[in-house]
Amino acid sequence: MSDGRWAVVTGGSRGIGRGIVRALAGRGFSVVVNFRADSGSAEAACREAIDLGAPNARPLRGDVADPDGSVRLVEEASAIAGRIDLWVNNAGVAPESRVDLLEATPESWDRVLGTNLRGPFFLTQSVARTMLQQLAAGAIEEPQIVFITSISARFASVNRGDYCVAKAGLSMVAQLFAARLAAAGIRVYEVRPGLIETDMTRGVHAAYDERIAGGLVPLNRWGTPHDVGLAVAAIADGSFRYATGAILDLDGGLGLRIL
């Protein structure tokens, strides 16, 4: 068993997940980088993590939407690390196409909610059980779970309703697990990124460039995976020890009510 802290980041090979992996590595965490398909990116993320200070970094293939794979994914992550101090539910998908709410399809609904809501719920159920066992065995202290949701949990986008519903639901999942696990000393947090510059937002980049320049985001810029990573790293380091169920908005002030 490792004497150091271990974090598992789902969808950690690219985008926001990779920013989180980098930040945690810089804080001395060993990391398990979960990925679904691109092993090359996951291996590159692990090499980068080692270069940034992670004592260890290991890729782990697994699809968070797989209803039969949640227990296996947690078991394999625990076997790699020997412990789970931090679990970050980051993996998610966007709709394959943005369509008007009146044209939404059951197929897109099932795909988006399967990965962004159903999957993380049952995955976290397995994570919680494992953390409780490891706490009882004295293998870990003060474990934490972080959900990466989105401003879409509270901002309505009528051309991607399935995504908004999934993120709003995931926000409640974070609240539920925070309430259930608090007495055991497992803290749960929600991080809500705003407009983050990643592959997922590439298709709408030009449109939002114009809106950001017009004042949509008070800080007047896109967010970055590094911004999200810094927030998760602060949580991981215990900066919010007397909080659980807290929601951290990383939206550049987009949610401010300004007259």
Answer for the pair 144, 84: CB distance below 8 angstroms, yes or no.
no
Judge whether 101 lies within some domain. Answer: yes
On whether residue 148 sits in a domain, the answer given is yes
In DSSP notation, 151-196 reads GGGTS--TT-HHHHHHHHHHHHHHHHHHHHHGGGT-EEEEEEE-SB
Note whether residue 42 is domain-resident.
yes
- Give the predicted TM-score (pTM) of the model: 0.95
Q: List, for residues 32-66, the tens digit of each pLDDT value.
A: 999 999 899 999 999 999 999 999 999 999 999 99
214-227 pLDDT, tens digit per residue, is 999 999 999 999 99
Q: Is 53 strand, coil or helix?
A: coil
Strand, coil or helix: 31 = strand
User: Is residue 242 among the annotated active site residues?
Assistant: no
Residue 192 maps to which CATH number? 3.40.50.720
Domain count along the chain: 1
Is 257 inside any structural domain?
no
* pLDDT (mean) for 185-201: 93
**Which residues span the domain enclosing 87?**
6-250
Q: Does residue 240 belong to any structural domain of this protein? A: yes
What are the residues whose beta carbons fall under 8 Å from the beta carbon of 11, sequence distance 6 or more? 17, 34, 35, 36, 64, 90, 91, 92
Which of 163, 189, 208, 242 is an active site residue?
163
Which tokens belong to 95? 């709709």
Residue 198: the pLDDT is 85
- Eight-class DSSP state of 95: -
- Evaluate whether residue 258 is within a structural domain: no
pLDDT classification of 3: cutoffs 50, 70, 90: low
The mean per-residue pLDDT over the stretch 78-94 comes to 96
Q: Is residue 88 part of a domain?
A: yes
Q: Which amino acid is at 166?
A: A
Burial per residue of 127-143, b for 16 or more beta-carbon CB atoms within 10 angstroms, e otherwise:
bbebbeebbeeebbeeb
Res 209 pLDDT > 80: yes
Percent of the chain, pLDDT > 90?
91
Q: Contact at 8 Å (CB) between 36 and 11?
A: yes
Task: Supply angle C-alpha 54, 60, 64, rounded to 5.
Answer: 120
Q: Is residue 18 part of a domain?
A: yes
